[in-house]
Amino acid sequence: MVVAKEVIYRALGEGRNKLLEHEAYEFLKAYELPVPKFGLATTKDEAADIAERIGYPVVLKIVSQDIVHKSDVGGVKVNISSEQEVRKWFEVIMGNVKSRVPTARISGILIQEMVPQDIEVIVGATRDAVFGPVVMFGLGGIFVEVLRDVSLRITPLTEYDAEEMLEEIKAARILQGYRGAPPRDKKALVDIILKVGKLMEEIPEVTDVDLNPIMVFPEGAGAKIADARILIKRV
Ligand code: ADP
Ligand code: MG
């Protein structure tokens, strides 16, 4: 919790109300949430060293407080499998961002473990003026964005609440194992939901959490957060 608070105060001290992506991962890691291995590089040499340490394949992403949708500005490259490619894409991404958003303040490029594609889910949280922290669960992509198929709970959450949240969505069957696919790791999702509820209770500076997507693997294989947005404010 000390590390988690430090990350938040540093960002607030710099006048930001949103954690940069690598800060969000530091924060989530402090809560023992399953984040991919990562490091922030400001040079090609650093990028190559970090990729080596993480192991290939890796993902490169621009880190800038002025860019919300990184893919839209050519700021994300997935599935990079060699040092040569890391160096090349470091340049390409920097070039894309500088030409498309010339005023963007750039902190560096995030080098991240490549998370295998799987069923995508979303866990989010916000603060309601009346009810306090509310945690949301849904399946990724069109399920949440188009069909609004989500379940919601007010904190504090019990394990039973979290299990119910998984069952409550209309598309719950997709997690049970669908058309021969093995059931997904619900325990890992329950754990994520509970930890998000806990951090909302413990850290009042966090106003919104959006873990989207989280890849959820077959039972026993866990889940991993592939993108995270955390909004903060002074309290
Ligand atoms: P943004 O939403 O800002 O465009 P993301 O970080 O969500 O950027 O990356 C875009 C997409 O790339 C994600 O939705 C996901 O499909 C894929 N992606 C991002 N990071 C990873 C990763 N570490 N492993 C695998 N796929 C990833
Ligand atoms: Mg995203």
Residues 176-219 pLDDT 10s: 987 888 999 999 999 999 999 999 999 999 999 999 999 999 99
Query: Residue written as tokens 């340049």?
Result: 91
Taking the centre of ligand 2 as the mean of its atom positions, its distance from the CA of residue 71, in whole angstroms, is 8
Check if 85 has its Cβ closer than 6 Å to any atom of ligand 1.
Answer: no
Distance between CA atoms of 189 and 104, rounded to whole angstroms? 35
Distance between CA atoms of 9 and 3, rounded to whole angstroms? 10
Q: To test ligand 1's pocket by mutation, which of 70, 72, 78, 93 has the most ligand atoms within 8 angstroms of CB?
A: 78
CA trace torsion 56, 190, 28, 121 (10° rounding): 60
On the question of a common fold for 2-113 and 119-232, the answer reads no
Taking the centre of ligand 1 as the mean of its atom positions, its distance from the CA of residue 223, in whole angstroms, is 15
Check if 169 has its Cβ closer than 6 Å to any atom of ligand 1.
Answer: no
Task: Give CA 174 to chain center in angstroms.
Answer: 21
Q: To test ligand 1's pocket by mutation, which of 20, 227, 229, 230 has the most ligand atoms within 8 angstroms of CB?
A: 227
Lowest mean pLDDT among 17-21, 50-54, 140-144, 188-192: 140-144
> pLDDT value at position 2?
82
Give the model confidence (pLDDT) of 124-167 as tens digits. Answer: 999 999 999 999 999 987 777 777 889 999 999 999 999 999 99
Residue 17 has pLDDT above 90, yes or no: yes
Sequence ranges of the domains in the chain: 2-113, 119-232
What's the CA angle centered on 172, arms 224 and 123, to 5 degrees? 40
* Amino acid, single-letter form, for residue 103: T
Taking the centre of ligand 2 as the mean of its atom positions, its distance from the CA of residue 130, in whole angstroms, is 29
Check if 69 has its Cβ closer than 6 Å to any atom of ligand 1.
Answer: yes
| pTM of the full structure | 0.92
Where does 2-113 sit in CATH, by number?
Answer: 3.30.1490.20
Query: Residue written as tokens 């005023």?
Result: 103
What is the average pLDDT score of the chain? Answer: 95
> pLDDT value at position 219?
96
CATH class of the 119-232 domain in this structure: alpha beta
Closest CA to 108 of 45, 53, 56, 57: 45
Distance between CA atoms of 123 and 209, rounded to whole angstroms? 8
Which residue's C-alpha comes closest to atom 19 of ligand 1? 226
- Percentage of the residues of the chain whose pLDDT score is greater than 70: 100
Closest CA to 23 of 183, 188, 189, 228: 228
Which residue's C-alpha comes closest to atom 7 of ligand 1? 227
Closest ligand 1 atom to Cα of 71: 4
